[in-house]
Chain A
Amino acid sequence: MLNKKKISSIREPLILGKKTMNDITCDICRQVEKKPSLPWLISIFVSLSVLSVGFYALFMTVWEGIGMWGLNKTVGWAWDITNFVWWIGIGHAGTLISAILMLFRQKWRMSINRAAEAMTIFAVIAAAMFPVFHMGRVWLGAYWVFPIPNLFGSLWVNFNSPLMWDVFAISTYFSVSLLFWYLGLIPDFATIRDRAKSKVSKFFYSALSFGWDGAARTWSRYESVALILAGVSTPLVLSVHTIVSFDFATSVIPGWHTTIFPPYFVAGAIFSGFAMVLTLLLITRKVFNLEGYITIQHIEMMNIIIIVTGSIVGIAYLTELFMAWYSGVQSEQYAFLNRSTGPYWWAYCSMMTCNVISPQLFWIKKIRVNIYATFLLSIVVNIGMWFERFVIIVTSLHRDFLPSSWAMFHPTIYDMGMYLFTFGLFFTLFFLFAKFFPVINMAELKSILKTDSD
């Protein structure tokens, strides 16, 4: 049996402060059991306000139609799809952490997987808002996206279309991630249930825990279910952003019609996902006093993943430029020249600075283990990834094949309002999660405490 001393002579312990199993239970359950704190109340108030301001934009979009957005005949996709891809990308870290790192037996994932998976689920919900409301008449939308028997002459959805693949990919990703996350929550809900004092919380956590009793037989089945879910989620998480990139890559638009899109999008998604996980967890560990669980080592590990994926993204940008030149296709060459030196040069520059140059600072150990630098850079990365999608989408569209139809895109307040709405939604859900659900997977953490009773 490995004991803690042997592990620590090679590596830092994963959680600090010589915690016992009971300490873990108390530290994590304390947030759930105590009355909401003032910082939490302020945070939820702010996020609900943002949500309601954004809701006005959403309401107007549905009431008046999507003409409220700044789209025009040339730029038919802009902030809507930019925000969609941005949120979906953010939603990639959770399942990556819980599935891929589980298969690789990376135990450091255990302190962060719960919050990261929650973030994934909320990010996918936020992402879904854009294509759903871009359909215009959302109340008819189900006929357009799902193969439902209908009276339009049995005219089915088009399974050749990447947009249709996207519907299936994202709904599968959402529902399987939810399943994975909830399965992990069940034993922890049982812990809260068995500690609950009030009748109301006993009732709710009993229902949420599905009558879990921690029997060895159930644990044994549970472990094989978790392993298989990790196994199927691994190709799933890679397939989702691959299919999102097909939305562009299978078209014939210069700047989109690129075979490197799938791996490039997946790397970008992991890059932005880890940045968002860092942004959220750095705040959560501070507010909930979880510094012993989410340690500098965890932050450093995530920063290393950010350097790796950020560098892959950087190589992809350069490959795109090289291929545009090397292909000899004039319109392809023009698309990239216009992208970097045309009217949207500032967006291209922001993308390059935020995504390629600034994450390289993480090569320096001092910056990698500095909380403030990490927090700042994680936000910079997310800004950069938003610009990446904006650049890919708008600069490829705004100067199309016919110069007389060239145009610029100007967002209206409703574009911005929709984006605000998704921020409000995401943070409201995240704050509710942080208050009422255990933010760290207690059962998994207890399994790495293993100490001999000497």
Chain B
Amino acid sequence: MTNFGKNFLLGIYNNENLLLKAVSTIRNKGVKIYEVFTPYPIHGIDDALGYRRSKLPVVAFSFGFLGFCCALLMQSYMLGFDWPMNIGGKDFIPLPAFVPITFELTVLVGSWGMVITFLVISDLKPWGKPVIFDTRSTDDKLVLVIDLSNNDLSENDISSILKNSGASEVNNKTFM
């Protein structure tokens, strides 16, 4: 585990408004936040933490475009070139008839491609071993984690910053 022997300070918040304010106060004081763990998505927290906007929409579009092209090529190759068949006197490559399958494959490849990319970049997998700082972070607490080895301020200073920002508890966590 990469966190082995590291010392973390956890600020536990009860409420998202407090947390959002706390994140900007803490960052303004020059303290680096390791990550925030919450039971539900909080709007605006990615901006407060300074995260860049995810590029997943571009990924989704690219996979969708791939699906679109593959679907058109597949249908045209199979019915138009590999084994042309006269079906009711239609063209060998009847584009209107290809619309439904092309649409479906665009959606199929786009969604699966995007979700698989999301799982890979977020390191989500069935055999994944998550680092849980506080198990209440999937229940009802918002947990702000600070990596002490990554900050110049002393533990006491950071602890008082966390308490002043509205944290209901400040805990220490070391991975053994």
Q: Give A193 to B87 CA distance when docked, in angstroms.
A: 56
Max chain A Cβ within 10 angstroms of own Cβ: one of B39, B100, B114, B126 = B39
Tell me which of B16, B103, B128 contacts A211 (CB under 8 A). B128
State whether the Cβ of B74 lies closer than 8 Å to any Cβ in chain A: yes
Q: What is the size, in residues, of chain B's interface with A at 8 Å between Cβ atoms?
A: 67
State whether the Cβ of A56 lies closer than 8 Å to any Cβ in chain B: no
Range for the number of chain A residues in contact with chain B: 35 or more
Query: Whose C-beta in chain B lies nearest to the C-beta of A445?
Result: B40
Q: How many A-B residue pairs have CB under 8 A?
A: 197
The verdict on A22 contacting B139 (CB below 8 Å), with A154-B83, A215-B36 known, is yes
Q: Give A301 to B74 CA distance when docked, in angstroms.
A: 44
Check B49 against A214 for contact (C-beta < 8 Å). Answer: no
Check A208 against B88 for contact (C-beta < 8 Å). Answer: no
Check B138 against A156 for contact (C-beta < 8 Å). Answer: no
Q: Give A126 to B17 CA distance when docked, in angstroms.
A: 45
Interface residues of A in 119-162 (CB under 8 A from B): 147, 153-160, 162
Q: Give A155 to B14 CA distance when docked, in angstroms.
A: 64
State whether the Cβ of A363 lies closer than 8 Å to any Cβ in chain B: no
Chain A proximity of B99: nearest CB distance (Å): 9
Residue-by-residue, is B111-149 near A (CB-CB < 8 Å gives 1, otherwise 0)? 110110011011111111111100111111000000000
Chain B proximity of A103: nearest CB distance (Å): 15
Interface residues of A in 183-222 (CB under 8 A from B): 183, 186-187, 190-191, 193-195, 207-222
The verdict on A211 contacting B124 (CB below 8 Å), with A1-B17, A216-B37, A220-B41 known, is yes
Max chain A Cβ within 10 angstroms of own Cβ: one of B14, B64, B78, B130 = B130
Q: Give A156 to B78 CA distance when docked, in angstroms.
A: 6
State whether the Cβ of A375 lies closer than 8 Å to any Cβ in chain B: no
Q: Nearest 3 pairs between A and B by C-beta? A: A211-B128, A21-B140, A165-B100
Using a CB–CB cutoff of 8 Å, the interface residues on chain A facing chain B are 1, 20-22, 25, 147, 153-160, 162, 164-165, 168-169, 171-172, 175-176, 179, 183, 186-187, 190-191, 193-195, 207-225, 228-229, 232-233, 235-236, 239, 243, 246, 442-444, 446-447, 450-453
